[in-house]
């Protein structure tokens, strides 16, 4: 799994989270993000801090509700637990970045383990033939 796949997952869960405000409101929000904040839907994973700021400017304290929904969906999709040093140090952006880091690290480890297993299998197969 790659960073590209993580971005696709993040886009998917963001879209699902924003659906909680209704489809027409979600479409209006995407338009507002693009026109006022210069954030296209596909750019959200690359502009996550700007996205967080835009949500907070648009919804005020209500932005936290949307951020929590998105974070829950992200957790459900990737199954990553994030340990924060301090609850006061918590933000949507930090959470997403921590999940991304953990997810990519786990995928890299799985890929490496898969390569090692394949190498062992090939070696075992060669030993059997001789």
Contact yes or no for 75/99 (Cβ under 8 A): yes
Residue 89 has what pLDDT? 62
Phi, psi of 28 (to 5 degrees): -65, -40
Per-residue pLDDT of the chain (130 residues; tens, 9 = 90+): 588 999 999 999 999 999 999 999 999 999 999 999 999 999 999 999 999 999 999 999 999 999 999 998 998 888 766 655 555 667 899 889 888 888 888 877 776 665 544 444 444 444 454 4
Tell me the three state secondary structure of residue 85: coil
Residue 85 has what pLDDT? 58
Residue 124 has what pLDDT? 46
Residue 107 has what pLDDT? 79
Distances in Å between the Cα of 63 and the Cα atoms of 14, 18, 51, 67, 121 are 13, 10, 11, 6, 51
Prediction pTM value: 0.76
* Token pair recorded at residue 111: 């890929």
Residue 2 has what pLDDT? 83
Residue 125 has what pLDDT? 45
What domains can be seen in the chain, in order of their start residue? 3-129 (1.10.1200.200)
C-beta neighbour count of 32 within 10 angstroms: 14
Residue 115 has what pLDDT? 52
């Amino acid at each position: 799994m790659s960073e590209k796949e993580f971005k696709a997952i993040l886009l998917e869960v963001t879209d699902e989270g924003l659906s909680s405000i209704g489809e027409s409101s979600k479409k209006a929000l995407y338009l507002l993000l693009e026109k006022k904040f210069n954030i296209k839907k596909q750019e959200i994973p690359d502009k996550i801090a700007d996205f967080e700021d835009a949500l907070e400017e648009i919804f005020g304290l209500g932005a936290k509700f949307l951020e929590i929904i998105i974070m829950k969906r992200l957790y459900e999709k990737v199954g990553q637990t994030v340990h924060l040093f301090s609850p006061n140090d918590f933000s949507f952006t930090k959470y997403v970045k921590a999940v991304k880091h953990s997810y990519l690290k786990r995928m890299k480890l799985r890929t490496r383990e898969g390569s090692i297993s394949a190498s062992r299998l090939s070696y075992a197969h060669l030993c059997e033939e001789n």
